[in-house]
Chains A and B, each alone.
Chain A
Amino acid sequence: MYKILTKKILNPTVTMMEIEAPFVAAKAQAGQFIILRVDEEGERIPLTIAGYDRAAGSVKIIFQIVGASTALLGAKEAGDYIADFAGPLGRPTKTEGLRKVAVVGGGVGCAIALPVAQKLFEQGCTVHSVIGFRNRDLVILEDEFAAASEKLVLMTDDGSAGRQGLVTQALRELIESGEEYDEVIAIGPLVMMKFVVAVTKEFGIKTTVSMNPVMIDGTGMCGGCRLTVGGKVKFACVDGPDFDGFEVDFDEAMERASIYSDFEHHRYEDTCNLLNKEGAQ
């Protein structure tokens, strides 16, 4: 059992928790992920590490309530326990030798982009961050990004915070204004990463993306997380989750991500009903 040390609601659908997991905390690095199960009947869900405190032995996760399992997790409070918490899995994001990087985050993907931005910033790299959300209510981690970036551009789809528009627009403007990046690191919805890559390809700027496909064991056994990268089968759990964005087949990944959408939708509704009933009692 793993204890939830703190819980903070970042916006109506996104929650942050610190979990007591000293072995994971001791090894965690930006870009890696963990697998957790909320309870003994729970599914294994992969979540990218949003931060860690080695001294306190805790690991920070930030998740969006998108389905049954995340709804159950979101219903837990500080002091509660979850059944399993394993990691750190996957390879850390490569940051060595980078001197100027644009970090692009979309939605809850910003939670994963932040530790990457922080790591780059701490090693003396010039960081420009472009973060995007649907609207003002969904904005998370703005101050944290500001503290880890020389330049921060906040974009919202409806213009209710920052500038109106998509992250790709802001990124293109930065590049066209003469900013020369060694690399662009993009973390967010698949469709966002696909279009970030479309922009950077035009300018020939190396782009790393973080993939979060369907996964079960997360240790290189089941093969559920396979992606086509450069025409070859790659496993996000052991070969990734970071990949060269120019090589990733995003259309295929988007299609595969929808395999269980019907099941997940029903399970989510059932869980919400259950949680509402419990709440009413």
Chain B
Amino acid sequence: MADMSLKKHEMPTQDPKLRAHNFSEVATGYTEELALAEAARCLGCKNMPCVKGCPVKIHIPAFIEKVREGDFEGAYEIISQASSLPAVCGRVCPQETQCESLCIRGIKGEPVGIGRLERFVADWHNEHSDKAPVKPQSNGHKVAIVGSGPAGLTCAGDLARLGYEVTVFEALHLAGGVLVYGIPEFRLPKAIVKKEVDTLKALGVKVETNMIIGKTLTVDELFDMGFESVFIGSGAGLPRFMGIEGESLKGVYSANEFLTRNNLMKAYKDSSSTPILHAQKVAVVGGGNVAMDAARTALRLGAEKVYIVYRRSLDELPARREEVEHAMEEGVEFKLLNNPVKILGYRNEADRRDPKNGTVIGMECVKMELGEPDESGRRSPVEIKDSNFVLDVDSVIISIGTSPNPLIKDTTEGLEVNRRGGIVVEEDTGLTSREGVFAGGDAVTGAATVILAMGAGKTAARAIDEYISSK
């Protein structure tokens, strides 16, 4: 008989006051006792509604059954059949809108904590199991993967398990893509990403860093080198700016730059050779997960005040609820229905060499109200006349999205992109307009989630296998 309590077992977290000043992981994860207790809440539905919500189709009731039996390694084996990055997904997937949103237990009370259980299982495996994955027999076919983010790693893992000789080409010096440069240590420890990458390497996946496809090599040259198919998972691309006055002042960052300095280059550590401004009052413009990551990072770097400036209301805020709640608990202030108009800079006319010249001293905003719903159904924000005010800040982080990177598009003839620059693919396969070239993740959709990118990597892996098998 299942445990019929209406609430999920809470996952232990660091005290907000404490964690707002360190980079250690916020949520510390289920203990064995908590995992067993939460697993007991699963009804083991025969029709498995939760699996329909999972982009990579993990056999959820089966792995939870194993957890309930205390066979954690068995649970890991079930998850890893479907997911190449279980410890990552257990942490960063928006389960509340995916698997857990379809859980029967959610009709009356809270759904089963599927994400928390997944994370527990993956962490348990990483801590207790030294079972190296077995490298499958090679089928002699070579596939190239462009980008080592969630889409690329998933595609690589699935193909390697099928016996393909997979090489991942990464532009940066470290594998992981957004998992290492974008998502902060306190949400996703980099040691975990490294472990997942090492697991793929044990499966036979080769990772070549410092290889910028579109520059160092082109997609066509990959074919010349003997790769039979290419998967492009090169990620989202260049940060967008608002086009307002003052965006080039010292102290204005794109979220990508701010997060890359901290996450990839470890600027938060004293020993790092990469600098970052330690601002006192920071405004983060935008309301997505990346904005939350930037705001919480700024807090941990020692800012007294961190504001999220967002032009709509809390209901429209696109970030995950859990991230918003964590940010609020830690002391991030939400300036909702506010829109930046201009960033103000210091200017000492008497001394043109004053080093403070060109630094941020404030951000002028205008208040907004929600008007009639537009064609997307969302109520669009409208400026309230004469409501301008100045927010006292010394740094501004702009997190309003990205536009696609042009490097691959510009060097791959016949690769069709849409109006926004995203690569055009067939939805069921990830096939692009070029034979043998597949794509997925943010390079196709524009900025989205880790798990959607993984889903796309998985879809493409299946299609690549079919493509090569049928040749």
- Given A43-B274, A44-B173, A258-B250, check contact A238 B238 (CB 8 Å): yes
- Say yes or no: is A255 at the interface (Cβ < 8 Å to chain B): yes
Whether B274 lies near A85 (C-beta < 8 A) is no
B162 interface residue, CB < 8 Å from A?
A: no
Among A219, A226, A262, contact of B248 (Cβ-Cβ < 8 Å):
A226
Considering the chains assembled together, what is the distance between the CA atoms of A117 and B250 in angstroms?
35
Flag if B355 contacts A261 (CB, 8 Å).
yes
Interface membership of A228, Cβ < 8 A: yes
* A222 B277 Cβ-Cβ under 8 A: no
**Would B171 and A86 count as touching, CB distance under 8 A?**
yes
Which A residues between 56 and 92 are near B, CB-CB below 8 angstroms?
68-69, 83-89
Which residue of the partner chain B has the closest CB to A271? B273
- Nearest-neighbour CB distance to chain B for A85, whole angstroms, equals 7
Option from A24, A217, A226 in Cβ contact (under 8 Å) with B171:
A217
A87 in contact with B215 given A43-B274, A217-B260, A256-B248 (CB within 8 Å): yes
Q: Decide if B250 touches A216 in the complex (CB within 8 Å).
A: no
The answer to whether A203 has its CB under 8 Å from any CB of chain B is no
Whether, in the assembled complex, B62 has its beta carbon less than 8 Å from a beta carbon of chain A, the answer is no
**Chain A: minimal CB distance from B257 (Å):** 4
A37 to B209, CA, bound (A): 13
A240 to chain B, nearest CB (A): 13
Indicate whether A259 reaches chain B with its CB closer than 8 angstroms: yes
Find residues 170-221 in chain B having any chain A CB closer than 8 Å to their own CB. 171-173, 181, 209-212, 215-217
- Asked whether B405 is an interface residue with its Cβ less than 8 Å from the other chain, the reply is yes
Q: A256-B250, A264-B275 are in contact. Are A233 and B241 (CB under 8 A)?
A: yes
Q: Bits for A249-281, please: 1 = Cβ < 8 Å to B, else 0.
A: 100100110111111100100000000000000
Q: Is the CB of A216 within 8 A of B260?
A: yes
Chain A neighbourhood of B238, CB < 8 A = 220-221, 223, 235, 238
User: Is A151 interfacial (CB-CB < 8 Å)?
Assistant: no
> Closest residue of chain B to A219, judged by CB?
B171
A224→B250 contact, CB < 8 A: no
Contact, CB under 8 Å: A216 / B215:
no
Which residues between 57 and 88 of chain B lie within 8 Å of chain A, taking CB atoms? none
Complexed CA–CA distance, A4 and B36 (Å): 56
B272 to chain A: which residues have CB within 8 Å? Answer: 41, 43
Q: Contact at B260–A41, with CB atoms within 8 Å? A: no
Q: Is A94 part of the binding interface, using a Cβ–Cβ cutoff of 8 Å?
A: no
Tell me the minimal C-beta distance from A170 to chain B in angstroms: 27
Q: Is B338 an interface residue (CB 8 A)?
A: no
Q: Is the CB of A69 within 8 A of B257?
A: no
With A and B bound together, what is the CA distance between A85 and B216 in angstroms?
Answer: 11
A255 in contact with B210 (CB, 8 Å): no
B358 contacts partner chain A, Cβ-Cβ < 8 Å: yes
| Residues 190 to 214 of chain A near chain B (Cβ within 8 Å) | none
Would B357 and A23 count as touching, CB distance under 8 A?
A: no
Instruction: Report yes or no: B254 in contact with A86, Cβ–Cβ below 8 A.
Output: no
Q: When each residue 409-423 of chain B gets 1 if its CB lies under 8 Å from chain A and 0 otherwise, what string results?
A: 000000000000000
Q: Is the CB of A224 within 8 A of B217?
A: no
Residue of A nearest to B212 (CB): A219
**Across the interface, do A216 and B235 meet the contact criterion of CB distance under 8 Å?**
no
Cβ-based interface call for B387 (8 A): no
Bound CA span A221–B239, Å? 7
Closest to B269 in A: A41
Identify the closest chain A residue to B177 (Cβ). Answer: A221
* The one of A37, A69, A255, A259 that contacts B173, using a Cβ cutoff of 8 Å: A37
Partner of B216, one of A43, A88, A235, A262: A88
Q: Tell me the smallest distance from the CB of A274 to a CB of chain B, in Å.
A: 12
Q: Which of chain B's residues have a CB closer than 8 A to the CB of A124?
A: none
Contact A221/B209 with A228-B248, A256-B248, A260-B275 known, Cβ cut-off 8 Å: no
Q: Please tell me if A42 contacts chain B, counting CB pairs below 8 Å.
A: yes
Give complex CA distance A23, B222 in Å. Answer: 13
Report the Cα distance A83→B271, complex, angstroms.
Answer: 18
CB–CB A219/B407 < 8 A: yes
B273/A267 in contact, CB under 8 A: yes
Q: Quick check: A233 and B247 within 8 Å, CB to CB? A: yes
Contact B239 A222 (CB under 8 A): yes
Question: A263 to chain B: which residues have CB within 8 Å?
Answer: 275
Within B247-266, which residues are at the interface with A (CB < 8 Å)? Answer: 247-248, 250-251, 253-254, 256-257, 260-261, 264-265
The answer, yes or no, to whether B133 is at the interface (CB within 8 Å) is no
CB distance from A259 to the nearest CB of B (A): 5
In the assembled complex, B237 has its CB within 8 A of some CB on chain A = yes
Evaluate whether A84 and B248 lie within 8 angstroms (CB atoms) in the complex, with A68-B273, A222-B239 already known.
no
Q: Which residues of B contact A (CB under 8 A)?
A: 171-173, 181, 209-212, 215-217, 235, 237-239, 241, 243, 247-248, 250-251, 253-254, 256-257, 260-261, 264-265, 271-275, 277, 355, 357-358, 405-407
Q: List 24 A-B contacts (CB under 8 A).
A: A23-B217, A42-B273, A43-B265, A43-B274, A83-B173, A86-B210, A86-B216, A87-B216, A88-B216, A216-B257, A219-B172, A219-B212, A220-B407, A221-B181, A221-B256, A222-B239, A223-B239, A223-B254, A223-B256, A224-B253, A224-B254, A226-B241, A252-B248, A260-B275
**16 other contacts beyond A86-B171, A88-B216, with CB at 8 A cut-off?**
A41-B273, A43-B272, A68-B273, A69-B273, A84-B173, A86-B209, A86-B216, A217-B171, A217-B172, A219-B212, A221-B181, A223-B256, A233-B247, A233-B248, A235-B238, A255-B250
Enumerate chain A interface residues (CB-CB to B < 8 A). 23-24, 27, 37, 41-44, 68-69, 83-89, 216-217, 219-224, 226-228, 233, 235, 238, 249, 252, 255-256, 258-264, 267
